[in-house]
Structure 1
Amino acid sequence: MLPPEPSRPSPERDFPWWLVAIVVIGVVLAVVIATNDLYTQVFRTVSRGVQITVFVTLVGFAMASLVGLVFALMALSNSLILRQVSRFYVEVIRGVPIIVLLFYIAFVGAPALVVAINWLTWPLQQMGLSEPWQVRDISLLWRAVLALMIGYSAFIAEVFRAGILAVDKGQIEAAEALGLSRFQRFRFIVFPQAIKTILPPLGNDFVAMVKDSSLVSVLGVADITQMGKVYASGSFRFFETYSIVAYIYLILTISLSIGLRQLEKRLRRSQKG
């Protein structure tokens, strides 16, 4: 007779001592920032970039999710052309580093887009109904958002594709037998079940984009990292400045991670209920 298997520890039932430690450290640092004039000044300067960081992350991720879903559906299409186009896009974009993509979109893609817009609106320009576009009309902020959107859409497309494939084919066939259209099957059968598989890796990509949004500072976009870089280069207070920068990013990412975990738990409970 085989001995009983040892019970596996459940991470979800563990008391979050790690969170307690983080909160204590965060409170101590907050007190230091509030009572030390130097840290207070650094925090006020660097925190001006929080709005840009949040904007770049939210807009970029929303656009990346939409584009990723489109390419995921293309990858699962019955059309060979759509499947090959999707695979080509995903493999090429995933093979290019985000920072290279930022430079490429900012200094190659944006000028090419301006040329295309001017070519399309040339008749309107001839009639005086439209002005020619200039490269400077596309701000560096939107070039950065576009680059992050393109870079992350390839990864998110694979997340959506895997989640959709994880749904039992029998349920899809049953829905088809009931006369549901392809859109209805996706909306009422596939997506509600796929979201359980999709949400954890999608949340990880969201957190990763918060951190990768710091790369937009290479274009001079005034996010948290860029504000810290400017302050440190002028004051030579590198330790204090980048400690505050790391502190702000940790607040954003940890808060987001906790929120996503709570959302996952609610989804599990709703599915069980």
Structure 2
Amino acid sequence: MDELIEYAPFLAEGFVNNLKLSVVIAIFSLVLGTVLAAMRVSPTPVLRAAGSAYVNILRNTPLTLVLAFCYLGLSDTLGLVFSHEVPLTNSFWLAVLGMSAYTAAFVCEVLRSGINTVPMGQAEAARAIGLTFIQSLTLVIFPQAFRSVIAPLASVLIAMIKNTTVVAAAGYTIDVAARMRETFDTTGVSIPIFLGIVLAFLVVILPIGYFSGRLAQKLAVAR
């Protein structure tokens, strides 16, 4: 038990690193997913095809392979470096790159389902008054689409937070999963540590699910 108390700050720091990753990935994946959703519903065939290809490829590729590609392919082979001074900083951004690219595909599909709930007449009315495609999306369609997919977006966010436990595939080795394994090897204790980390994730994830459900009910678009 004394060893568990001793390693608690070590594990807590790893968990905080996962949360930092989650915040940055959430921002990037939401922006990229929104752009991809716009491409998927674009009147330009090339953009639709490009968006569709991206989503289908990334959604059907295991996350660990995406992260490994960022680490071994982009960084080691192609020389993509975000920081020469601190290696872990480079690994942090490689993990952000891989997970943002992966999560954005799911964000795109959630948003596209929200776009499909917007009545076609509203888009036609927007075009009739002279709005461009981008103006129609930003002023008419996306505001309603986002309100209708709050709960599904929260589900994607929750999955992304849990997926941060595999970022070691991108070389980021100070996350909570890596530190948990190190603590297992050092202390020989596993179940109490494992349960403690599970509880930490529940403390973060359960409120997200609860409040997103309440927010979805409050902001639901009346049809």
Taking only aligned residues, the RMSD between alpha carbons, in angstroms, comes to 2.5
Counterpart of 2:126 in structure 1 is 175
Aligned to 2:158: 207
Is 1:146–2:97 an aligned residue pair?
yes
Q: CA–CA distance in 2 between the matches of 1:149 and 1:45?
A: 26
CA gap 1:168/1:93 in 2 versus in 1, 3 angstroms: same
Q: Secondary structure at the match of 1:86?
A: helix
Q: Could you tell me which runs of 5 or more consecutive residues in structure 2 were left unpaired when the two chains were aligned.
A: none
The answer to whether residue 196 in structure 2 is matched with residue 231 in structure 1 is no
List per-residue Cα deviations over 1:203-259 (Å, max 9, x = no partner): 100000110001113434212222222111111111121111111111111122122
The equivalent of 1:185 in structure 2 is 136
| Cα distance in structure 1, aligned partners of 2:116 and 2:76 | 39
8 A Cα contact 2:18 2:165, kept in partner: yes
Q: Who is 2:197 aligned against?
A: 245
CA shift, 1:42, in A, is 4.2
Q: Check if 1:166 corresponds to 2:131.
A: no
Structure 1 Cα separation of the partners of residues 124 and 167 of structure 2: 46
C-alpha distance in structure 2 between counterparts of 1:60 and 1:115, whole Å: 19
Structure 1 partner of 2:210: 258
Taking the aligned partners of 2:10 and 2:146, their CA distance within structure 1 comes to: 39
Runs (5+) with no aligned partner, structure 1: 1-35, 118-132
Based on CA coordinates, which of the two structures has the bigger radius of gyration? 1
Answer yes or no: is 1:77 the counterpart of 2:42.
yes
Distance 1:103 1:116 in 2: 15
Q: Within 1, Cα distance between the matches of 2:29 and 2:211? A: 20
| Structure 1 position 113, deviation (Å) | 4.7
Measure the CA separation in 2 of the matches of 1:107 and 1:178. 51
Runs of at least 4 residues off by over 4 Å: 36-39
- The Cα shift of 1:112 comes to 4.8
The equivalent of 2:31 in structure 1 is 66
Q: How many Å separate the matches in 2 of 1:190 and 1:265? A: 19
Structure 1 residues 195 and 229 mapped into 2: Cα distance closer, same or farther (>3 Å)? same
Deviation of 1:187 after TM superposition, in Å, equals: 2.4
Structure 1 residues 138, 112: CA separation in 2 closer, same or farther (over 3 Å shift)? farther
Q: How far apart, in 2, do the equivalents of 1:116 and 1:53 lie?
A: 21
Q: Aligned equivalents of 2:89 and 2:9: distance in 1?
A: 29
One-letter amino acid of the structure 2 residue matched with residue 75 of structure 1: R
- TM-score by structure 1 length? 0.73
- Count of aligned positions: 220
Instruction: Tell me if the contact between 1:196 and 1:267 (Cα under 8 Å) persists in the aligned partners.
Output: yes
Amino acid at match of 2:135: Q
Q: TM-score, normalised to structure 2's length?
A: 0.88
Q: Which moved more, 1:221-230 or 1:39-48?
A: 39-48
Give the fraction of aligned pairs with identical amino acids, expressed as a percent.
23
Aligned residues of 2:14 and 2:175 also touching (Cα < 8 A): yes
